[in-house]
Amino acid sequence: MRFGLVVNPVAGLGGRAGLKGSDGADVQARARALGAVPRAGERAALALAELRSRLGPAVEVRTADGTMGADAVRAAGLVPVVVCLPGDPTTGADTRAAAAALASQVDLLLFAGGDGTARDVLDAVGDTVPVLGVPTGVKMHSAVFAVHPRAAGEVAALFAAGAGTRPAEVMDLDEDAVREGRVSARLYGHMAVPDVPVRVQQRKMGGSITSPSSVAGIAAELAGRAGPSELLVLGPGGTMRAVAAALGADVPVMGVNVLRDGRPVAVDVASGPLERLVRSAPAWLAVTPIGGQGFLLGRGNQQISPDVVRAVGRDRLAVVATEAKLAGLGGRPLLVDTGDEELDAGLRGHVPVLTGHGRVAMYPVH
């Protein structure tokens, strides 16, 4: 079994900076100026380390040189087979060129990035080779990603053991539209991925009709928890924006927003300022799962960093969702992928989910 790897070194760079994506040199420069640190290679190495633990140190990984793959392969304790040399700095054209060069040489092509990277891989290889995304981006609405870097290594090993494939959607958002407050996603095509349910994520589903009574009940429950002097941090999403509106605040749908006594204290805030805010006063943190996928943390809300979660406190993390949103998961668990394995382990188990006024459902988190 021959594996390929392509890493987008800047994938996810804009996440904790609250930039809604990482596409474009200007966005990447702004993210770095705000203190963002690339982590795509680190997460790719985590996936390969899991693969190595399952298949042994003789795993063959063909890849591009440097930060586009070879560095991650070595970090996982493997010896890379370098097939191409990317430019510096790397671009989407380098991703497409590397994917195209690897397509005829491997049995499974791993790529580390987000939805923009998935589009580049789709353009380069189409359905000529099975692929699997290692999630490292800001936006991961596509169904071609494993639910976690280690899950990517697990799925790759299961594919080597004979798991079949299925077609999966490649979706992407218009980042400029998102920054202007408009959510515009479209389907770009399909690629074959290993058919390993639960370990490979579903595509993000569009918002369902939100019951005003459910939202009002959730808002009342949160207002009752956060006293007048306490902060209420609301994660992104249509449900959370509706909750903010029920509390009397108009906030951006894709941002992380902070209220005090129903009034905005900070809107569309990045991880650094958010951490300083929650360390300055008692706070509650409310998040809602991504529709169809079930992610609570680690997808589209990287501003809520592990340090932010720890500063708020696990006992002050409120999970909220309408009953319709939970039903849309079809029994699949809620998911966390903060990039901090110790924190993720502490968040797993069964959690109470606020579904309305006085209504709580116990639901598993994996």
Is 352 in a helix, a strand, or coil? strand
At position 112, the amino acid (one-letter code) is A
CA 129 to chain CA centroid, nearest Å: 24
SS3 145: strand
pLDDT of res. 203: 85
The pLDDT assigned to 245 comes to 94
pLDDT value of position 185: 72
> Are 355 and 218 spatial neighbours (Cβ–Cβ below 8 Å)?
yes
User: In terms of DSSP H, where are the helices of the chain?
Assistant: 25-33, 40-55, 70-75, 92-103, 115-125, 149-160, 175-179, 212-225, 238-246, 271-280, 306-312, 323-327, 341-347
Between CA 207 and CA 289 the distance in angstroms is: 11
**What pLDDT is recorded for position 212?**
77
What's the pLDDT at 283? Answer: 97
User: How far apart are the two ends of the chain, measured CA to CA in Å?
Assistant: 29
Tell me the two tokens of residue 96.
């497409």
How far is Cα of residue 41 from the mean position of the Cα atoms in its chain? 15
Question: What pLDDT score was predicted for residue 15?
Answer: 67
Close Cβ partners of 276 (under 8 Å, ≥ 6 residues apart): none
Q: What is the model's pLDDT at position 24?
A: 66
Summarised one tens digit per residue, pLDDT across range 64-98 is: 999 999 999 999 999 999 999 998 889 999 999 99
One-letter amino acid of 351: V
**pLDDT for the residue 38:** 80
Tens of pLDDT, residue by residue over 17-60, are: 666 566 667 766 776 777 767 889 999 999 999 999 999 999 99
Q: Is 10 exposed, middle or buried (0-12, 13-18, 19+ CB in 10 A)?
A: buried
Sign of the torsion angle spanned by Cα atoms 232, 233, 237, 241: positive
Query: Long-range contacts for 348-351 (Cβ within 8 Å, ≥24 apart)?
Result: 351/319
pLDDT of residue 137: 86
Cβ atoms of 97 and 8 within 8 Å: the answer is no
Q: What are residue 315's phi and psi, to 5 degrees? A: -75, -5
Pair type for strands 131-135 and 231-234: unpaired
Which residues, at least 6 apart from 296, have a Cβ–Cβ distance to it below 8 Å? 287, 288, 289, 319, 334, 335, 336, 347, 365
Low pLDDT (below 50) residues in the chain: none
